[in-house]
Structure 1
């Protein structure tokens, strides 16, 4: 076996683990890693800022189920990336982040751009380590891939000192990581289902990580056979075809008040993969951790998550897809179909667009786009007042047609759209973004053009940070402070990036803009909204 420098060892290990694409902002601290990638057919998506690169890597992990890979340099590069790591941790997305570090020989001297990454990243990720021996790179990388995918998935960080990456070592490669997956006993799964069906007002809540198209099909088969209603957690609306008669809505921000009441009234919950955090429970008010007053059956891959907030009546350490697979052909029928029918009727009524001020109406825009691209498009969004309309009026049909941050991070939609189009080049990709949301990662339009990514960006321009303004008007009416925005000319900006811009000042302008976008290329469609058009619900 011949000696290789650390960057070559790292790149070889990535290839062994099936990595075909990485996201990065280059830095001198990991030149050896860039050199190692040169010898592999691993696409390096070079981004404009580490926050956008991190969000792209997170979206890639969310879309593919495989760890998103990110390379950033030391100091400001690493700290810029922190926002995307927070998304990955909150969203339970597998991600492996390689951070350049000062030379080992210079550590603890306050060297140029030196950061103690163990201390900095520890609260944000599942595991963080610094490699101190070149020959141990395969060991650390293998462990990183295992941890990122095991139990509740999430991000891990490996700091790589420059001299460790450039040093030579004679070390064997390790086989690809294969995290252990617990099997589910069908009899055990059937027993939990039977217990759920014994109640008069049961509810399935689907969410969390690790889902797949097969899991969606299994969930739909289960609720069809049993008659049970199913809700989803925040920004997991694509876990079931929204046209299914047993789907009753999402437990997210701006949720249907009748669905919120139904969660209160339910006498039993089967929680499939979700954490039932603050958002799904409206600040823990819909489901009191001290006295939930209902049977709780919790299925989750992380044993430490079960019972961490809500004490379950019974539980199973397993992924939601594994549990659903074990229930294929399960027996049992819910004996109170009126409960499900009424919940579905509430969802259908909630879907009726409610008129808002102005010539351009977000409720009509979202419904038109949802219907136009039904079953074909992949939708991304970040956070802002506009997102309440996206949540309420978009109907998702296939798994992973929704890519959005459960962490509520602004700026996410555009980087996610780039990653989505790279992962699914044959599908239309529609990004929703507010004017404040988009301008946080606007520079990634350059990344989109560099890599030939054809996406359509719907810009909800109301000239303000809408969500904050909504709260401001509610709590401090008439005292506007810190929420106004200046916007560029998006039509000219699109042209500057080699794309096409469209200004929509009336609903009749939208159709022709979408027709043009369907021909390919980068398209920015600016919706000139009435500033008074703010969702009255809390929105992220």
Structure 2
């Protein structure tokens, strides 16, 4: 028999989590006990929930696996919302676990009670609340899957206090593996044909999920085709800034010459990036 907090932390370990960020709160004490005792997960305690959410988001960016943050209910959740918003806009895998009032107290305007489904709906890929301790492995596995599937992003799971403290018998879920998309040979050939026929091509890179190997492959690609590469907002490290093919970044206050080059290009190859407000200079 394990209590819900122990079950949850065991699922994190099975999914390769080595680092968790949190600001302590009474609503998830069972999780804190399990983290304290766990031999392989390092717990970092922050001073404010916005900080730990940002740290978890940064881990997601660097590793391609969901960054993990725990915050308490009410103000803890609202403070953490900024990090969730960044993860959404930057396509970063992240899971925010939020303490919640006991099940019997819900919908009574209990102390610091918040409806997380409504609060985080515009910010997260999926928001759920675990109501049965036996389903914790299922919910955690789905959270990992959704955070990494398709366009990566943040997931929020509410943790009622009594669900975490209840002891149940349940098997662990298998670890979640991220699906790796690959271009079909025909699509790659079509892109090569378009590049060969372009007079003023430009590659724009951004989004989440980039690794050192992917960046190095992009450098080889750009060098082979002698094509300029620009980076999207907050993605300057996706391409070697010292490389002869580096054209600059389309962030706030972008170089006017780069903006002109984008506007005059006859082929814009967008790799991994959203064409967001900042990158496009106001959707122009």
TM range (shorter): over 0.9
Q: Which residue of 2 aligns with 1:9?
A: 7
Matches within 5 A, 1:274-285: 274-285=273-284
Aligned-partner Cα distance in 2 for 1:251–1:37? 41
Matches within 5 A, 1:47-66: 47-66=46-65
Matches within 5 A, 1:97-112: 97-112=96-111
Matches within 5 A, 1:128-527: 128-285=127-284
8 Å Cα contact 1:211-1:239 kept in structure 2: yes
Following superposition, the deviation at residue 192 of structure 1 comes to 1.3
Aligned-partner Cα distance in 2 for 1:91–1:135? 33
RMSD of aligned C-alpha atoms?
Answer: 1.0
Unaligned runs of 5+ in 1: 286-540
Residue 281 and residue 183 in structure 1: after superposition, are their counterparts in 2 closer, same or farther (change >3 A)?
A: closer
Q: Which residue of 2 aligns with 1:38?
A: 36
Q: Secondary structure at the match of 1:44?
A: strand
Q: After superposition, give the CA deviation of every residue in 1:112-154 in whole Å (9 maximum; x if it has no partner).
A: 1100000001111111000010000000000000011111111
Q: Is 1:87 matched up with 2:86? A: yes
Aligned-partner Cα distance in 2 for 1:232–1:136? 42
Aligned-partner Cα distance in 2 for 1:174–1:119? 28
Aligned-partner Cα distance in 2 for 1:254–1:121? 31
Following superposition, the deviation at residue 211 of structure 1 comes to 0.7
Following superposition, the deviation at residue 168 of structure 1 comes to 1.1
Q: After superposition, give the CA deviation of every residue in 1:9-43 in whole Å (9 maximum; x if it has no partner).
A: 00110110011110000000000111121231211
Aligned-partner Cα distance in 2 for 1:87–1:61? 11
Deviates more, 1:54-63 or 1:127-136: 54-63
Unaligned runs of 5+ in 2: none
Aligned-partner Cα distance in 2 for 1:182–1:84? 26
Aligned-partner Cα distance in 2 for 1:257–1:210? 29
Aligned-partner Cα distance in 1 for 2:203–2:279? 13
8 Å Cα contact 1:23-1:44 kept in structure 2: yes
Following superposition, the deviation at residue 160 of structure 1 comes to 0.5
Which of 1 and 2 has higher RCO (CA within 8 Å, sep 6+)?
A: 2
Aligned-partner Cα distance in 2 for 1:218–1:71? 36
What stretches of structure 1 move > 3 A for 4+ residues in a row?
Answer: none
Aligned-partner Cα distance in 1 for 2:68–2:255? 37
Q: Which residue of 1 aligns with 2:16?
A: 18
Following superposition, the deviation at residue 60 of structure 1 comes to 1.4
Q: Secondary structure at the match of 2:140?
A: helix
Aligned residues between the structures:
283
Aligned-partner Cα distance in 2 for 1:167–1:198? 65
